Each structure stands twice: as structure tokens, then as C-alpha cells.
Structure 1
């Protein structure tokens, strides 16, 4: 999934992604989620804007989608009159714009049917719409939809994100209020932070055993937990940050941080050094060990086997009053990721209000209000509530304005009295007259619309700010994402342009093999798994990878280096000027030609990859050497991409200096930035001669970078595949 905010403004220097999202999605006071200032359910937020700039800032699609429903604004003249202006009797008070766009987004957050998700985004109170926005039409992320208008006389628009009942478990991995911590989390979707549930009686030691052993002989026990602990691991920008939480005994649903975050407590540049750590600590199965380090468990079990099966993961973790080393691979410790929406980070499913009126009557929310923790915890509540824009249910949702609510005391003077949750105070309001309710209903009808099945089904709502911030951690690439990331070829006499149909065949192919033009099978399922494994999940890392892959695969046409036998003489050991790459026998040049999404070339690299996948006993290259008929890469997409990920993480040569930075994997260089010099440094670690940099690698990177980042304007030579 690739997602962005509905306003796109430049980031400030050193501004975090979360801070940037909150800044560009500034919420209007008393129009927050999930309950507004009047105690009513509010399925979205009102995002403030100003009309100071020219041209007006566009409201943009947050993700690729289809236009489900749309309405043009009635215009300023009608906006400030009844029924769009509910306060028309008050001087100089403006009303609400009634333009809107409803988008349906079909995307993927992982592998398999359970990770194919559908959600909706609604942009209400727009003052103008783009002429290209039409029912049934396709829109792409960052496409302008229109401009923000007014709502209740305030410069703002209403924005909400929701899904139907069938998709809540696909998006969050559950239907229950909290996660089930008796078992590991989902494996079809794994992204973002990795989380560990440590049960009571978990032991903390003074150090890790020598040689990554499971033996605790000679270790000193520092602490044994008496209550559950919740540990979160963040791998980003080369660092590993460990945070521990413990449930607050006074406030339900609150989890307190223990101590300060531990940054790289288990080694400098921890994330950049995962390959070296895997080779050192998991000698019998380094590739599976890499996954253990990355995810806390082996995810790709159909391809990777951990040897021995009980190999440990010793890491430094905080406990109440100190820190110690824990074997996080212990089966009693359960593993999760952000894809599980862990409740200790505040994600709770709220589905306990069965009333038909619009006022919140959730005991979960009432308890948060009574305990004084609602303000801090409301942002991550995922609430099941009626669609507030359905025209046919207006009376069911709002007639209480005239008749009163179940918990109100209504007097003969048409006054309703109720107690304020969490206080000893009571408030009162005047019930609407039939005439006033009629005016209100006309106002609601002018803004609402017939939403079809959405209006009658169970709908789950997210705080849009926190949904977008959360889902931007998911670097999973679906088919449509891949197509957007690939740059269309220029015209060439010997090969036609790379069309959408050609690329779809490449992504969805069952595998083709003609001479040395090879397309592995199941690329759409395998490629994002492997990129996730090797941490190539940030927009910048993905763009750099696609820039390199464009050249290495001949613009996505083959996964084996092309040329007749004489072309590979440059790799032959008998050639004095050749790049031998560890080749020792005549014929090794052809036998160990470049293969993979990023080419491994030469006997030495093949041997290293074999050792990485299956351990040192397989340095004889049984795994990636494919005698006698070169069949493995045809059907084995996992090997083709995993070899590229291995190369990406293990590459340690061609440093610009003699500093230790030259020993880090390519993620280090990809994280440097998006300038030409940055892409050049990445290229030098793939191909020291920078072959095809200006003609293919750099243009392909620029294209992929725009497709995945948050820039509004495409580069001059942007060539999307339609």
C-alpha cells in the first residue's frame, strides 16, 4: 500500500513523517474523531485550510482508487442560504459547501487473499471539483480532486477513512477489541515495528551467551518479570530502537513506557549490519537467521528453515528498574508487527454501541472519559458506527434532538438534563421544536446522499491522521504499485515499449524461458516479500532498488545476463584483463553469468549466496548453480529476488573512503538521499563502472522516486505506464 495525506506540503528540515502528517492535517477544534464536541459520533475529522495561496491548495487522493460517488458544489450563493446555511437568520454567518468525492481503494498490505483489502476515503465540503473526477473513473494517489470549502462557517473540509465489516479483519488481523497474545500474530501481513509479548516469569540476564548459544550457564539472572511486558523493535536508518511498555494498573487500556528507549544497545549500526550478524550468529542457516533478526521469527517458512530450530535471538530489553538480555525467540514470547494493530500501542476495536441515534453510547469510550484518558487514547480507536452521510437514516440518527435520549431527563418545559461523563456535573439543553427540527433535517438532507450498501452495512472508522501515518509503514507493493514504479521504455528498434499488458504479464507470469530471456513465476507474490525481508520498504530504498533493477534486468525483460558465449570471456580465468570474480575453471564465465533481479555474477558470489541460504556446507554452490539445464531461475522467483536482496545487504566493497562505512550494506547508501550523487553511489556498489547509470539507472530511479514519494509535480521526463 502506498498512501499519503490529502494535502501535500513540503516537509520542514528534520521533520518526522508523523509530525508532517499531523501538520498538514490540522484538525479543527471540536471536530475531531471519533466523538465531536457535542458528544455525537464523528466518523472523520475536519481539516483546516486557508485561501491565502494562489492557486488554491488542492485536496488530493490519498491512494489509488475508483470514484464511487461525487457531487459538485452548489456554489457560494447557495452555500450561504438555507438549507446549506443552518444559521441563515444570524448576520454574516456562512454555511457549508456540499461538494464531495467518495473513493474506493483496493490494495494489498501483504500476501494472499487475506491481505487484499478495500477501504474508502470521503472528502466532504469541497467548494470545487476537478473536471476529471467522474463516477467510475480511476484516480491515482496525489491526483487533485478539488479544493476545500467551508463547513459551519469555518474554512475546512470533512475527511474520513472507513472500511466495511468484511475488511476490518483483513486490515487489522482481528475482530476482537484486543490482540490475542496466546499466539503469534499474522504472517500474511508483517510490516512496521516488530512487537514481542513477554509473559510473566520471563527472565532477564546480564549478557548474551557466547557463540549465540541457548545455554544460560554462567549467566547472572538480573530480573524475572511478575507481569506481562510489551516490547517494540524499530529498525530504521541503520538503528535498532527497543521500547518496553507495561500495563498501567490504575487506568484500563493505558500502557506506560519503562525507562528510555534503547538505541543500538546490541551493536552500532544494528540494522545495516543484519547480514553480518546473521552470518556470525546463524552459521548453519544465515538466511533464516536474517529473518529472525528482522522479524523476531522466520516468516518465509516455505523457503527458509532455521537450523537449529531453537536458535535464539538475544537482545537487550528494558524491565522495571533496569535492562537485561532476553531470548526473544523463546516460544513463550509471542511475536507481532504493526500489521496486527497492537492494543498496547492504543489500537482498540470499539463495537459496543448498538443504538441507532448519532450520540456516542459506548461503554468503552465512556470509561476512557471517566478515567481522564480519552484525549490521549481516542486517536487509535477503531470504531464501528453508522455512516453519517446516509440520507435515508437521518431521522433514526437525529430525531433525539426533538424527543430526547434514553439517558436524558426531559422536563415538561422541553429541557433535557444529563450528567457529563467523568464528572459530577450535569448539563441541560433545550429540545428542538418540530419546526426547528424540520429546518435541521433539510440541512442534513442537503449534505447527505444515498450511499447504497455502505449506508446499511456495518462500517469501521479510523482516525484518518493515524491511519495514514500507520499505513505508511507498510512498504508492501501490490501489482498496481509495481506498475506505477516502472518507467516506460523509450522507443527502440529491436524492442517495443514496455506496455501495461507486457508488464502485467511479467508480474503475473507463471514463468517463461526462451533461450536466456527469463521471467520467473509469481513475481507479484515474491518480490514484496523479499523486499520486506531485506528492509527495502521505505520510499527512498524502494526507488533506489527499482532504479538498479531496471538496468540489471534490461528494463524488466530478463533475469539472466545476455550475450553469446564470447561475451562472457571477460569473466574467464584465462583472460588476463578479465573480471574473474572467483572463476577458476574454463567455462565458468558462462556457467556463473549474472542472474537475479540484481545480478549475481561469478563463482565467488554464487558460493557466498549458497552459503547464506544453506550454510557453509553448501559453499560448493549446489543451491544457486543450476546445472545442467539452467531451469531453476525460470520458476524460482524467490531465488531471483532473494539473491538480489542478499547482494543488496551484503555488498561491502567499493567505499569512497577507507572508513567503516564502506563495510555497510546498500541500504546505508540508499538512505543518503535522492540526489544524482546518491544514486551514483548506490550504483557503484552494484556496478563499479556505473554501467548504464545516466541512460537507465538514474532516470528509472527518478521515475520510481516520484511515483512513491509525496512530491506534487512530476519530473520533466516522467513516463508512467498507462
Structure 2
């Protein structure tokens, strides 16, 4: 948590003037075990727009910097560009003001800065140790980031589909029926159901998934203060979990962990589309998924004033949204009702919140439109009102006004084009918290997960340390599959840094650094003396070899995936191929001499052959098949465990000591899809390429999380993986 100065809070300060950021109080600790200096760090990858090296302490301690207390003037302004959805690239800025001593040597105009990189050291402002922290954007990017500039969300239609993340929200209009029970949760019909309540006011339901749970919360508008919303009843946690959907004891009645089995039970004609309905309340991927039947319901237990009942949230009368829509009933409001360009906060909305005491509860979720305060050229326009005063602020003398202007000018800087008009300001802590739910990887962010080098086991105690060539140019597999990876991760709730680290820690290695969605199934046998080719042959389980991001392999997995996607296959062909694969798997000596897995021998229909081949040739299928593996094998359950990093040291051939990192959690998530019988055998050595996977995992932990790496004494103090692994640039 960031300790924020309540007198310099957002969006107004104690004088009721606009304040575009917060003051983060100095957090240096002198006790043993703490770094003597806590550095200010970049909140995201970005580029240095401008900066000012801090003045000396002598200058800080004298006027004009020392106006009402010693004040440091060092600052760094960063521009951030990233993606938050499909074809949804956004730009925003972060400002770090009142830095002291010296900036990090890497800070220079145009320099690239990476998330968590040191920027400088927290200084002083008005005699208080701390720094000013601000996040803002222009009008164009406000629409991209939040989808609107109006105070409230349009609830007459469903929310955005270009970007969907975080919690799912439902607007239940007056007249919504609640039922006591629904014996057939797969039927939308209500003729024989017992209605226990019909709503007379708008209700808003939020659905949150996390750590295996699903929590349902209902809100309604406060009877006195319209901008406030009250919780109705108690949060409902896993209320609709069914014992019929459990697969392993550890996930018993955990609604989220069992979504795959729930989808198969309720939506057998197309469980994949049903999974999307369970996840989003609607089908988002309409180009790839068709809900069958089209009116398939989503019955969930929902609170109403005085009780609970079952509601079909899939009804077209109920509108669906996500956190990407910044729902106003969760506190988000866009404030654009202050029509002047001075620094006074003349917003009727904020004035009303101050009067009824609601500002403190909502202030962090207000996104406010007003001029930036660091432009010296607009100082008089913004502060001339101080000369005449207001009912709350007495007039300022010309001498005092001049001193204030001199102090402000000493802190201002060239704000460039963004600083000439009004900008949209976010509470920076709330901004970070909110967008951590997004987890959409930009091209640059995906690239950083690929290590510069990787370890490969060539034999017993025989290792290679090999450079990794990364190809993500236009038209490459890595570039083309990124959107599909992001979409499938959002759909299947691979939406925490640790889940992504486990998912892509396997997928990136499985596909040769996202180079091919197809296993190398063709082998060559050569004479050891002459090196001449004796024969070329296919892997024994051809044509059911690995395809897709997680290399879907063997007939049973393919047929299970086809079933998940709602594709009907002849049962006799399915059974015959599965039995033949099992027979060959159990008898190594006959895998090539008595193999009957071919398409011709089993009369495999053309559509099944096409579906199978599409798992590698169609990148949507390649990504979708991987997330099918994820949900069907309970990988999230293992990925959600605590990740205790273990520092592993090896000496590859013709290399010095190299370090990589593993954890029991990553092992179990990896084994769940590759070697299910070895999930709890964390020392097992037979998982192909696990040490290579760990190299990707280590990069993902560094890029996506705040977790530190153990040093050689097993103390978690290192900010980055050793052995120069992070790929930058």
C-alpha cells in the first residue's frame, strides 16, 4: 500500500483546489533488513518525455523552492503506450515530482524505462518527506481507456467487447423475476417456477472470480445520495457450486475451478460457448463460438432486498459489462462538469459529495477533467482568482501572489502539447489497481517473457546454455497469435501474473519460442559410421502428434477438445483410436511394428482430420486448445498456490555457472498437463524440457510480478533473474 498524505490527496487538496495526483509519503526504513533508501520506480514500461535533475539542498532550502517549507524540484515525466484489448492501443502519462539528490543514470530524454526500474529518490515537499505522483491522459485515450467521458455508464446496451477484463457486471432492470429454485439449470423456461420476488428498482450485480471462488454482490442506488450505491445482503460465495462438477478433492465446491465441468454439464452441445457464458455472462467470441441452444440460460443465485433467488442472467433484458466499462455503481465516475480553466474545483458533482460526506468514499474512483498544474504559461489563468478570493479563501495580496507564482514557476516545466488544455486525471493508486486486472499482453510485454538464453538438458548432468532467437515481425507466428493468446487467457481466467507465468512458461517453450504450433514429428535415422540417411519416419503416435500452444497430443485429448468445442465425432472411431494409443503407449517394443493409428486404417472422416490439422494451422484453435488443456487439467488450482522460488545452479558445457528458478507451484502446473501422475512428485526428472520452461517462468515472474528472487543464501532480495536473462529493447 502507498502511504498517501491526506492533505495532498486526489482530486482536490485541503483548499478545495484541483490536485492532479497524490503525495506519497516517504517510506525509507532504517531498521535492519530494509534498504536504507526506497527508490521511486516506474509504474509501467515507458519512455522519458522530460525530466529535471534535482537542485542542490542549498537551493531546496531557500526561496523560491522553500515557500512554505523545503521542497525538492526533481521530476520525471513518462509516456506509456500499451494495449488493453484487441485493436485497443492506449497512451497515458505518469509524473513523479519532488525527487531529491540525483535521478537514476538511465534517465535521459527519450530513454526507454521498464516497469519497476528506478527513477530517483523521494524528496521533500513543503517540509514533508514524500513525492507527488500523477497519472493522466488526453481526450482520445480517455475514450480508449474507459470507453466514455460521461459520468455514468450507458446501461441501455451491453458493454464493450474490444476489451473485456476483471469482474463481470449485470444491470437488472425493474421487473426482473427471482425464483426460489430452478430444477433444470439448462432450461430457460420459467412457466413452472416459483417466483419469490419481482424487483421494483434497478439492481446491479457484480461477479468476481478468484482463487477458485465466485463471489456475487448486489448493489442498489442509495435512497438519499444518488451517486452512492449500497450493498444488498451478504456476498454470495460459491453458492451455485455443484458437487456434480467436482474433479479432485482440493477443488470441492470451488465454482471457478470447476467451470469446465459445469460448462460440460449445462451446455453439452457446445461447452466452450457455455464456458464463455459462465465467464462473461454472454458469448463474446461470436466469430468462433455459437451458443446452443441460442437461448441457453445462465441461472445464478442473486441477492435482492430481503432475500435471494435465482435469476437468468443471460436474459437479453439484463445488460452485461466488465471492469473495462468502469461501472458507475462500483464508484467510477467521469467528472467533466467544471467548465472553467482555473484551478478552483467548481464541479457540482464534487461539491455535492463534499456536502453529504461521500467524497472520501468515492474520491479514488473519480476521473477528473481539468488543466495540468505544471504549466507555467497558464499560471495566471488558473490562479488569478486568488487575488479576489472566494467565500472560503480570503483575497491574496500582490506580494503574496507573486511569491506563490515564483514558487510554482520553480516547479513547473515544459508540459508540451498535452499540457495546453484540459486532461483526464486518475487517482494513480486506483489506476494501477484497476488495470492490474486487465492482463492483456502487448507485443513488447510478450517479448519480454522470452529469455535471452535458455538451459537445455542434453543428457545426464549434461547441459547447454543456448541463445534464444526471437522472431515477432509482421506475419510471424508470434505476432499473429498474440491476440488469440490474450483472448483465450481472458476467457479461461488465466488473468493473474502467476497464472500467466505458468501458462506461457509452458506454451512458449512447447512451441519453440512461439515459432511453430506443430511438434517436429518427422525423424531421420543415420548410419553412425558413414552418417548416411538410412530412413525417415514419423513419431509413433503420428498423426496425433502435438499441435497448438500447449501441444495437444494423443487421440483422447484431441477428441476431448473437439467435444469441448461442440463437435460431434463417431464414438466407434474415438474408442478405437484411444484404445490403440493406450496399447502402443504400454508396449514400447511394438510402437513402430504394430501401429494402427493411421487415418486410413480407422476411416477417420475428413472433418475430424481438418479439425485436428486446424489446431496448428488456425491460430485461434492453437490458443483455444491450450486453454482447454488449462481448464480441463485444473492448472489454475496449482498456479494459485504460493510460488516459493528455488534458485538452481548448473554449469553448462563451455559456460560458467548459470542460474535458473523453479517452484513447486510451477512444477505442479506444468506436470498437470504433461505428466498428471507426477503432479506431486516435484523432484521427478522426466518432464521434457522442464528446465527450459523454468527459464521462461523466471522471466515471466520478473516482468509480471513484484516477487524478488533468492540470492545464493536463499534470501529473496534480487530484483531480476541472474545470468542476464531479461530480454529488453
1:619-666 CA distance string (max 9 Å, x none): 778999774798634541110010000011112xxxxxxxxxxxxx11
User: Counterparts of 1:520 and 1:479 in 2: how far apart (Å)?
Assistant: 9
Q: Is the 8 A contact 1:151 1:157 kept in 2?
A: yes
Q: Is the 8 A contact 2:558 2:612 kept in 1?
A: no
User: Counterparts of 1:630 and 1:559 in 2: how far apart (Å)?
Assistant: 12
1:591-646 CA distance string (max 9 Å, x none): 11111110111111111111111244577789997747986345411100100000
Instruction: Give, in angstroms, the shift of residue 485 of structure 1.
Output: 1.4
Q: Is the 8 A contact 1:84 1:446 kept in 2?
A: yes
Instruction: Give, in angstroms, the shift of residue 683 of structure 1.
Output: 2.0
Q: Corresponding residue for 1:637? A: 619
- Return closer, same or farther for 1:297/1:43 CA change in 2, 3 Å cut-off: same
Q: Is the 8 A contact 1:148 1:155 kept in 2?
A: yes
User: Counterparts of 1:624 and 1:448 in 2: how far apart (Å)?
Assistant: 69
Instruction: Give, in angstroms, the shift of residue 399 of structure 1.
Output: 1.8
Write the mapping of 1:82-231 to structure 2, written as runs, cut at 5 A: 82-87=63-68, 94-112=69-87, 115-127=88-100, 128-210=102-184, 212-231=186-205
Instruction: Give, in angstroms, the shift of residue 457 of structure 1.
Output: 2.7
Q: Is the 8 A contact 1:703 1:718 kept in 2?
A: no
Instruction: Give, in angstroms, the shift of residue 692 of structure 1.
Output: 3.2
1:445 alignment partner, one of 390, 396, 409: 409
User: Counterparts of 1:602 and 1:477 in 2: how far apart (Å)?
Assistant: 30
User: Counterparts of 1:123 and 1:487 in 2: how far apart (Å)?
Assistant: 30
Q: Is the 8 A contact 2:639 2:669 kept in 1?
A: yes
Q: Corresponding residue for 1:400? A: 385
User: Counterparts of 2:642 and 2:509 in 1: how far apart (Å)?
Assistant: 20
2:51 alignment partner, one of 70, 91, 116: 70
Q: Corresponding residue for 1:659? A: none
- Return closer, same or farther for 1:623/1:464 CA change in 2, 3 Å cut-off: farther
Q: Corresponding residue for 2:665? A: 678
- Return closer, same or farther for 1:628/1:466 CA change in 2, 3 Å cut-off: closer
The reply on whether 1:611 has 2:563 as its aligned counterpart is: yes
The reply on whether 1:703 has 2:699 as its aligned counterpart is: yes
Write the mapping of 1:242-321 to structure 2, written as runs, cut at 5 A: 242-267=216-241, 268-321=253-306
Q: Corresponding residue for 1:650? A: 632
Q: TM-score, normalised by structure 2?
A: 0.82
SS at match of 2:502: helix
Number of aligned residue pairs: 627
Structure 2 spans left out of the alignment, 5+ residues: 242-252, 459-463, 526-537, 575-603, 645-662, 679-685, 709-718
- Return closer, same or farther for 1:352/1:562 CA change in 2, 3 Å cut-off: same
Q: Corresponding residue for 1:461? A: 425
Instruction: Give, in angstroms, the shift of residue 354 of structure 1.
Output: 1.6
Q: Is the 8 A contact 2:518 2:616 kept in 1?
A: no
- Return closer, same or farther for 1:624/1:275 CA change in 2, 3 Å cut-off: farther
The reply on whether 1:554 has 2:512 as its aligned counterpart is: yes
Q: TM-score, normalised by structure 1?
A: 0.83
User: Counterparts of 1:275 and 1:630 in 2: how far apart (Å)?
Assistant: 21
Instruction: Give, in angstroms, the shift of residue 503 of structure 1.
Output: 3.1
Q: Corresponding residue for 1:662? A: none
Structure 1 spans left out of the alignment, 5+ residues: 1-22, 88-93, 409-417, 419-426, 511-518, 568-585, 652-664
Q: Is the 8 A contact 1:610 1:623 kept in 2?
A: no
The reply on whether 1:532 has 2:484 as its aligned counterpart is: no
Q: Corresponding residue for 1:361? A: 346
1:647-700 CA distance string (max 9 Å, x none): 11112xxxxxxxxxxxxx110011112232222212221221742354212232
CA RMSD, Structure 1 to Structure 2 (Å):
2.3
- Return closer, same or farther for 1:617/1:282 CA change in 2, 3 Å cut-off: farther
User: Counterparts of 1:327 and 1:346 in 2: how far apart (Å)?
Assistant: 25
- Return closer, same or farther for 1:251/1:698 CA change in 2, 3 Å cut-off: same
- Return closer, same or farther for 1:136/1:71 CA change in 2, 3 Å cut-off: same
SS at match of 1:169: helix
